[in-house]
Structure 1
């Protein structure tokens, strides 16, 4: 399951180290090529909102496999795209159906023992993050070997193989609650209304991912230009600096199972602010940029896994719907950060990118403090009862 989530989520990040090559090969500007990053995030968000809730309606094994096969078709379209328009179509399709990853995460939580649920989620999330990191690096390496489209073609084949493996290895799992698709969608609004911490944790995830998304959308432009002058392969390898984040996802799950959810979230939010100070220096110093990547990925996973630990306990009977609400917010945040990063780069270059990312990191700390208050009020209410 960890491998499958990594493949699904990673496919949305292939384009990030390749933007300069895509722009040159398809005869478009850098800003136009960067729109593919936003398209991937927005289409993923749409899938989260309308497809992930099906995990509380349909058999999760069938749903996961079907979505992976459709995502593979989108990657194939991208790998054969003769123009930026076709690349947008393939990117949108792959992003929409790669939400199979977010069907598998609550599936893992359901299959795990209660005392190890957060650890199981952290393990699957580690696989997801490793997939994202390897996606950037493998994309750069394969681009150097066979052109920027190679990674999409290889991904399509591998996703089909993994989907068939899931079909053979996962058990069937289906919720029994009598709701139809319309009822499932309507109930998400009620969950958001009735669960204050679902609201605060969703916003917390969104702004933290937006902060990191700012750099994801622009790092290829920074590293391809002066003073670095990196090619696709080198840019892809830089992404490996964030592998510590994958280790942090697993550690965050274990800390959550020990009752340290709030501390993990708070440390992650503060580290995210610190990372942007290093990113500012990283505009000229590669070592500072690499350190910032490590810290930012660790911070993001600390916040993200602790968020999931909280929301999965709010409504155990509706984990796919809770995931849909939270992850839709999360990836809307990512898409917003990507778009903001592109605008900031065009307007003020790397300093503008750093100011935008830092502002979002400061908001992350503020939302965490708000969640502390909401959690405290909820605890007081339970004691009063």
Structure 2
């Protein structure tokens, strides 16, 4: 069963804006902790490597939620599913704010990630409701909300953490989620499911897509490596900023998210360039921008201007590649957008969680040069896969 033609009229500009804003606000929950890691470590009296597990578990939780929750968007009514999930998001954030031990911090970090997967229901929903000629623009807009939410979350949490405390950030997030859920309950249209069968059959179909769709496989690998590099940088940035030569705090580390938003906004228009340049070339240029950003971090990472230019480039590269990755596999037109997106985003956040883990270990043993090595290797892996396989896949009929 697929949505009726009438449902496509539901994607008004107001609905698209609601989905975009809600996407940014919900995904932000997963990243509030990154500029706050130093404050949490001091408050609980634990080491930097230990508290960094909070960021890693949030991403692992997100990957698990993507795998187990997002496919349900093809099986159940979308709006009802989203509102039920919001209840658990709110409880998880409140639990984080009330935590007084590293164990509870780690548990609620995982649960926040596990429940805050609504953005990955909105992205395929936008693709499904939009007309074919506007599909790429709709995906790009919602994805811009997602990446801007990721980036600005660090700005907000860095500021709130510096001036009010890390717990207060999570109480604010709890209130924001309550308001967002109310707006969705009032304004979001309902979308009928397009899968009939059991949950087991649903999950088997997810595995089959992962195993049998090479376009999806390549997109998932590029995304995983790109986000792994991105996470390696932002997880350890706060530690880099706190030490020499900067001796600064979480507010400054978080402010780099605002800088990166410039790149995210620019990438929102990447689909328009595919008409003139071609998807494969733009993805190549996007990965090369990320490679160049790591060169800047290596050579000029002890200067603010080097970090600023590098952040703009890594965000622009990642977001451009991310949007076109999704456009590639949505263009397969398999009538299973949530399940395709599940495969892609599970891979994406597994990449992010491993990037976070290896960067934290590299920081502990080798400081900033170790982080540079991890980020560069992840980015070069994406580049190698793209050069080896993309051209061959585009020769085959989709």
TM-score range, shorter chain: over 0.9
Match of 1:250 in 2: 268
Structure 1 stretch 362-371 or stretch 12-21: which is displaced more?
A: 362-371
Taking a change above 3 Å as real, the CA distance of residues 221 and 57 of structure 1, as seen in their structure-2 partners, is same
1 CA distance for matches of 2:261 and 2:355?
Answer: 21
What is the aligned counterpart of 1:312 among 330, 354, 366? 330
1 CA distance for matches of 2:320 and 2:67?
Answer: 24
Mapped pair 1:336 → 2:354: yes
1 CA distance for matches of 2:45 and 2:274?
Answer: 48
1:2-30 Cα distance to aligned partner (Å, 9 max, x none): 11111111111111111111100111001
The answer to whether the 8 Å contact 1:125/1:249 transfers is no
Summarize the alignment of residues 91-170 of structure 1 with structure 2, pairs less than 5 Å apart.
Answer: 91-170=109-188
TM-score (norm 1): 0.95
Mapped pair 1:82 → 2:133: no
1:312-365 Cα distance to aligned partner (Å, 9 max, x none): 122441000000000000000000100010111112110111011111111111
Mapped pair 1:190 → 2:197: no
The answer to whether the 8 Å contact 1:312/1:319 transfers is yes
TM-score (norm 2): 0.92
Mapped pair 1:180 → 2:231: no
1 CA distance for matches of 2:67 and 2:75?
Answer: 14
Structure 1 unaligned spans of 5+: none
SS in 2 for 1:179: coil
The answer to whether the 8 Å contact 1:196/1:374 transfers is no
What is the aligned counterpart of 2:281 among 259, 263, 267? 263
2 CA distance for matches of 1:363 and 1:139?
Answer: 31
Match of 2:344 in 1: 326
Structure 2 unaligned spans of 5+: 1-18
2 CA distance for matches of 1:116 and 1:316?
Answer: 18
1:237-281 Cα distance to aligned partner (Å, 9 max, x none): 122110123213311233357783212211111111100011113
Mapped pair 1:28 → 2:46: yes
The answer to whether the 8 Å contact 2:268/2:320 transfers is no
1:179-234 Cα distance to aligned partner (Å, 9 max, x none): 22111100012112221111111111111111111111110100011110111222
SS in 1 for 2:336: helix
What is the aligned counterpart of 1:354 among 372, 377, 381? 372
1:105-138 Cα distance to aligned partner (Å, 9 max, x none): 1111111111010110110111111111111011
SS in 2 for 1:217: helix
